[in-house]
A and B are shown apart, each in its own frame.
Chain A
Amino acid sequence: MKRRQFIRDLGISTATLPFLSGLPGLRAEAKSAGPKKRLIIMFSPNGTIPDAFWPKAEGANFDLPPILEPLKAFQKQMLVLNGVYNKLQGDGDRHMRGMSCLLTGAPLFPGNIQGGSDTPAGWASDLSIDQKLKNFYQSKDDTKTRFGSLEFGVAVPNRADPWTRMVYAGPNKPVAPIADPKQMLNKIYGGMKDKKSVVSILDNLKGDLQQASKKLGKEDRSLLEEHLTLVREMESELKQSSSKSKLDHPVPDIDPNVELLNDNTPKISRMQIDLLVNAMANDMTRIATLQYMRSVGQARMHWMDIDDGHHGLSHEPDDNKEAVKKLIKINRWFSTELAYLTERLQKTPEPGGDGSMLDHTLIVWVNELGKGNTHTLDNIPFVLIGGKNHGIKTGRHLKVDKAAHNRLLMSIAQSMDLPLKSFGAKKHCEGGALGLG
Chain B
Amino acid sequence: MISTLFNRPLFIAAILSLAGCFIPAIQAKDLLSRGAAIYKKQCLDCHGPNGEAVEDKTDDPLYGNRDLTSLAKRIVRTMPEDEEDLCVGDDAKAVAAYIHDAFYSLAARARNTPARIETARLTVPQYRSSVADLVGGFRNNYASPLGKDRGLSVTYTGTPPKKNKKDKKKQQHIKGRDAQIKFNFGEQLPEKLRGKNLTKEKFSVKWEGTLIAEETGTYEFVIRTRNGARFYINQQHWWDSKKSGKAAIDAQVASDNKVREEKVRVFLLGGRAYPMALTYFKFKEKLASIELLWKPPHGSLKVIPERNLYPWGVPESLVVNTPFPADDRSVGYERGTQMSKAWLEAVTQGGILTANYVAKNIDELAKTKKDAPDRVKKIQSFGLAFIESAFRRPLTDRQRQQISEIFFKNSPSPEQTSKRLVIFALTSPRFLYPDLPLADETDPYRIASRLALTLWDSLPDKQLTDAAKEGQLKTAQQVEQQAARMVAHPRTREKMHGFFHHWLELDRADNVAKDNKTFPDYDESLLSDLRSSLFLFLDDTVWNNDKSDYRQLLLADYLYLDERLAKLYGLKAPAPTAGFQRVSADPKRRAGIITHPYLLTTLAYHNSTSPIHRGVFLTRNILGMSLKSPPTANKFEPAKFDPTLTMREKVADMTRSKACMACHVTINPLGFSLEHYDGLGRWQVKDHNKTIDSSSKFKTASGETIQLNGARDVAKLAADHPLAHRSFIQQLFHHSVKQPALAYGPDTMTKLEKQFTDSGYDIRALLKNIATTASTKGVPTPDSDS
Q: Which residues of A contact B (CB under 8 A)?
A: 18-19, 21, 108-114, 120-123, 125, 158-162, 172, 174, 176, 194, 197-198, 200-201, 204-205, 208-209, 212, 215-216, 220-221, 223-224, 226-227, 230-231, 233-234, 256
Are B406 and A112 touching (Cβ within 8 A)? no
B255 and A215 within 8 A (CB)? no
27 contacts between A and B (CB under 8 A): A18-B345, A109-B256, A111-B285, A112-B227, A112-B228, A112-B253, A112-B283, A120-B284, A120-B285, A121-B255, A122-B253, A122-B256, A123-B253, A172-B260, A174-B253, A197-B423, A204-B424, A212-B436, A215-B438, A223-B120, A223-B339, A227-B339, A230-B341, A230-B344, A233-B341, A234-B344, A234-B348
Choose among A111, A113, A201, A212 the residue that contacts B433 (Cβ–Cβ < 8 A): A212
Neighbouring B residues of A121 by C-beta, 8 Å: 255
Known: A114-B284, A158-B242, A220-B119. A208 touches B255 (CB 8 A): no
Give the Cβ gap from B544 to chain A, nearest Cβ, in Å: 41
> B250 — which chain A residues lie within 8 A by C-beta?
160
* Further contacts, 4 of them, CB under 8 A, given A112-B283, A125-B255: A109-B255, A114-B284, A122-B255, A223-B337
A198-B348 contact, Cβ under 8 Å, with A112-B284, A227-B339? yes
Partner of A224, one of B344, B352, B420, B433: B433
Q: Could you tell me the distance between the alpha carbons of A37 and B217 in the complex, rounded to whole angstroms?
A: 43
Interface residues of B: mostly helix, strand, loop or mixed? mixed
Contact A220 B348, CB 8 Å, known A212-B433, A226-B339? no
**CA distance in complex: A221, B257 (Å):** 65
Min Cβ gap A21→B in Å is: 7
Say yes or no for B497: interface residue by CB 8 A criterion. Answer: no
- Docked pose: A176 CA to B241 CA in angstroms: 14
Q: Is B655 an interface residue (CB 8 A)?
A: no
Report the bound CA distance from A114 to B283 in whole Å: 8
0/1 interface trace, chain B 331-359, chain A, CB 8 Å (1 if under): 00000010111101100110110011000
With both chains docked as a complex, state the minimum distance between the C-beta of A196 and any C-beta of chain B, in angstroms: 9
Distance in angstroms between the alpha carbons of A208 and B402 in the assembled complex: 12
Report chain B residues within 8 Å CB of A125: 255
By a CB distance below 8 angstroms, the chain B residues around A230 are: 339-341, 344
Q: Which residue of B lies closest to A209 (CB)?
A: B429
Residues of B within 8 A of A223 (CB): 119-121, 337, 339, 433
> Which of B340, B352, B419, B430 has the most chain A CB within a 10 Å cutoff?
B352
What separation, in Å, do the CA atoms of A198 and B313 have in the docked complex?
A: 35
Give bound CA distance, A108 to B282, whole Å: 18
Q: Does B254 contact A (CB under 8 A)?
A: yes
> B253's contact among A19, A162, A212, by CB below 8 Å, is which?
A162
Q: How far is the CA of A220 from the CA of B438 in the complex (A)?
A: 13
Residues from chain A with Cβ under 8 Å of B341 in the complex: 230, 233-234
Give 1 or 0 for each of B207-247: 1 = CB within 8 Å of chain A CB.
00000000000000000000110000000000001100010
The CA-CA distance from A14 to B315 in the complex, in Å, is: 40
- In B712-736, the 8 Å CB interface with A consists of none
Chain B residues with CB under 8 Å of A19's CB are 345, 348-349
Q: Give CA–CA (A120, B226) in the complex, Å.
A: 14
**CB of B20 closer than 8 Å to a CB of A:** no
- Find chain B residues with CB under 8 A from A111 CB: 253-257, 285
B408 CB → nearest A CB, Å:
14
Asked if B246 contacts A158 (CB within 8 A), the reply is: yes
Q: B264 to chain A: closest CB distance in Å? A: 14
B436 neighbours in A (Cβ, 8 Å): 212, 215-216
Q: Say yes or no: is B252 at the interface (Cβ < 8 Å to chain A).
A: yes
Q: How far is the CB of A182 from chain B (nearest CB, A)?
A: 10
Please determine whether A197 and B355 come into contact, CB atoms closer than 8 angstroms.
yes
- State how many angstroms separate the Cβ of A207 from the closest Cβ of chain B: 10
Chain B residues closer than 8 Å to A123, beta-carbon distance = 253, 255
**Complexed CA–CA distance, A215 and B429 (Å):** 12
Residues of A within 8 A of B420 (CB): 197, 200-201
- Minimum Cβ distance to chain A for residue B278 (Å): 16
For B437, give its contact among A194, A215, A227, A234 (CB under 8 Å). Answer: A215
Contacts of B284 on A, CB cut-off 8 Å? 112, 114, 120
Task: Please indicate the chain B residues that have their CB under 8 angstroms from the CB of A224 in the complex.
Answer: 119, 429, 433
Residue of A nearest to B119 (CB): A220
Assuming the contacts A200-B420, A230-B339, asked whether A113 and B253 have C-beta atoms less than 8 A apart, the reply is yes
Q: Does B427 touch A at the CB level, under 8 Å?
A: yes
CA gap between A272 and B236 in the complex, in Å: 29
Determine whether B415 belongs to the interface, using a CB cutoff of 8 Å to chain A: yes
How many angstroms between the C-alpha atoms of A1 and B121 in the bound complex? 42
Query: Which A residues lie within 8 Å of B253 (CB)?
Result: 111-113, 122-123, 160-162, 174
Q: How far is the CB of A259 from chain B (nearest CB, A)?
A: 9
Check if A204 sits within 8 Å of B406, measured CB to CB: yes
**Least CB distance, A249 to chain B, in whole angstroms:** 22
| B784 interface contact, C-beta 8 A | no
Of chain B, the residue at the smallest CB distance from A202 is B427
Q: Which residues of A contact B283 (CB under 8 A)?
A: 112-114, 120
Q: Which residues of B contact A197 (CB under 8 A)?
A: 352, 355, 416, 419-420, 423
- Quote the shortest CB–CB distance from A209 to chain B (angstroms): 5
Instruction: Establish whether residues B349 and A21, one from each chain, have CB atoms under 8 Å apart when the complex forms.
Output: yes
Tell me, in angstroms, the Cα distance from A174 to B253 when the chains sit together. Answer: 10
Are B228 and A216 neighbours in the complex by a CB distance under 8 Å? Answer: no
- Decide: A201 and B246 in contact? CB cutoff 8 A: no
Q: Judge whether B413 is part of the interface by a CB distance below 8 angstroms.
A: yes
Contacts of A194 in B (CB 8 A): 352, 355-356
Q: Does B281 contact A (CB under 8 A)?
A: yes
Instruction: Report A-chain residues with C-beta under 8 Å of the C-beta of B438.
Output: 212, 215
Q: Decide if A227 touches B429 in the complex (CB within 8 Å).
A: yes
Is the CB–CB distance between B437 and A256 below 8 Å? no
CB pair A216 B348 closer than 8 Å: no
Give the nearest-CB partner of A220 in chain B: B119
Residues of chain A lying within 8 A (CB to CB) of residue B415: 256
State which residues 548-601 of B face A: CB under 8 Å.
none
Name the distance in Å between B426's Cβ and chain A's nearest Cβ: 10
In the docked arrangement, what's the CA distance between A197 and B407, Å?
Answer: 11
B435 to chain A, nearest CB (A): 10
Closest-CB distance, A114 to chain B (whole angstroms)? 7
> Which residues of chain B come closer than 8 Å to A122, judged between CB atoms?
253-256
Partner of A201 from the list B121, B427, B437 (CB cut-off 8 Å) is: B427
Residues of B within 8 A of A226 (CB): 339
Q: Are A112 and B254 in contact (CB under 8 A)?
A: yes
B118 within 8 A of A: yes
* 8 Å CB interface, B149-169 against A: none
Residue pair B339, A176 in contact (C-beta under 8 Å): no
Residues of B within 8 A of A216 (CB): 119, 436-437
> Please, which residues of chain B bring their CB within 8 A of the CB of A172?
255, 260
Alpha-carbon gap, A291 to B504, bound state (A): 57
How many whole Å from B211's CB to the nearest CB in chain A? 23
Residue of A nearest to B323 (CB): A21
A21-B349, A160-B250, A194-B352 known; A201-B429 Cβ under 8 A? no
What residue of chain A has the Cβ atom nearest to residue B120's Cβ?
Answer: A223
- Which A residue sits closest to B348, measured CB to CB? A198
Within 8 A of A (CB), among B398-435: 406, 413, 415-416, 419-420, 423-424, 427-430, 433
Query: Complex: how many Å from CA A53 to CA B543?
Result: 75
CA–CA, A162 to B424, complex, Å? 45
